[in-house]
Each structure stands twice: as C-alpha cells, then as structure tokens.
A and B are shown apart, each in its own frame.
Chain A
Amino acid sequence: MDIAFIITCIQLCIKSAPDIAKFVKDAKAFVDGMFAWGMISQEQQEKVKAFADACQTAALANQPPPHWAVEDDPA
C-alpha cells in the first residue's frame, strides 16, 4: 500500500465527514422522535409525515434518486 493511496483515503474521510455527521444527526432526530418519552409534538409528526409522503410520491412515480441507478464500472 503506497503513501499516495493512504493520503487519498485520509482525504476521502475528511471530505465525507460533514455528510456523515449530518446524516447521523438526522437519524438520531428520527430515533429520538420514535423512542421519545412523553409526547411527540405536532412539529415532529409533520416532519415525519412530510418525509414519508415525499418518498411515497417519488416511489409511486418511479423516480429513484440518481445515485440509486446502476452505472458502468469505472475504467
């Protein structure tokens, strides 16, 4: 394993960190909402329903996100 490859891997990790952090934060919010003690607010309900409705509409219209498509292997 050469040094350039290791550096590339480190750069990849640094570049992707904000995306991963954002997703983990969003996922935690959903989990908090699902397993919350007490009341689930109207706002939280609306947030969940809006997401599910949007996904349902896209799925019924057969509109997958671009990164869900199978593409050719890199050369």
Chain B
Amino acid sequence: MKRILIAVMMLTLAYTPVACKSPQLASGGVYAPAGQVADLQLYQADVAYALAFGTIDSVFKFERDNRLVLWKLSPKIKRTLDDIRPQAWAANQRWAIARQAYITQPIPANMTALQTVIAKAQQLATTAQAALKGN
C-alpha cells in the first residue's frame, strides 16, 4: 500500500496549481491558429480536464484491475468508487456538452460553464483518490 500512497501523494502534488508565469501558445498551433487570437483559456481548461479525467480513470482502472485484493483489504473501496462512477460519467458528459458549446460559441459565459463542470470533475477526482487513501 505504501507505493499506492506515494503515487497518490505524487498525483496530489502534480495536481496542485502552481502560480507560475502565464504560458503562451505558439502561433500556428491548434489553440492559436495563425492570424487568429490564441485561446489560452480553452487550452488550460482542456489540460485541467485531462488531469481530472486521467486521475479518475486511473483510480477506477486500478480498482478494477486489482478488485479482489482491494476487496479483501476493504470492501469500502469498491463501494465508494461505485458511488462515484455514475457521477463521474455524468460530469464527463456535461463537460463534453459544455466544451462543444464553447467551441461553437466562444463567449465568456460558455467558458464559465465549462470551468464549472471541470471544477466538479476535479472534486470527484479528489474524492476518488481519497477512497484509495482512506480505506
């Protein structure tokens, strides 16, 4: 379990926003087409989502791949994650709809909606990590 705890701690550290100088998008990239205004907010939203989704996905996969052993350790792990699974997928679908809406119409209100859904996904990622750590 120590390695699992170390990995979870490393993920938590990686997940902690660090206030660094704002990055810039290289012109000609998919978020900064040549001759158009770069969309750093969408890039950052996509990165934040990828981290949250990746964390949730890894926890679910880890539990599924090692279910019998983890079940012997504590049935609460699977049960807690089973509570999160449908919520996580629902949040994922809301994210997809919100992202599609922003791409179709890149206005601040749609970005706010996208960021709200990502915040929910980040919350679920934290809960999923805690299920492994705390049980």
B69 close to A (CB within 8 Å): yes
- The SS class assigned to the B binding surface is helix
How many residue pairs link A and B with beta carbons under 8 A? The number is 160
Contact between A68 and B66, CB atoms less than 8 A apart: no
Query: Which of A28, A62, A69, A73 touches B93 (beta carbons < 8 Å)?
Result: A62
Q: How many residues of B contact A (CB 8 A)?
A: 63
Main SS of chain A's interface residues?
Answer: helix
| Complex contacts, A37 vs chain B, CB 8 Å | 20-21, 23
Binding site for B on A (CB under 8 A): 5, 8-9, 12-17, 19-21, 23-24, 26-28, 30-31, 33-42, 44-46, 48-49, 51-52, 55-56, 59-60, 62, 64-70, 73-74
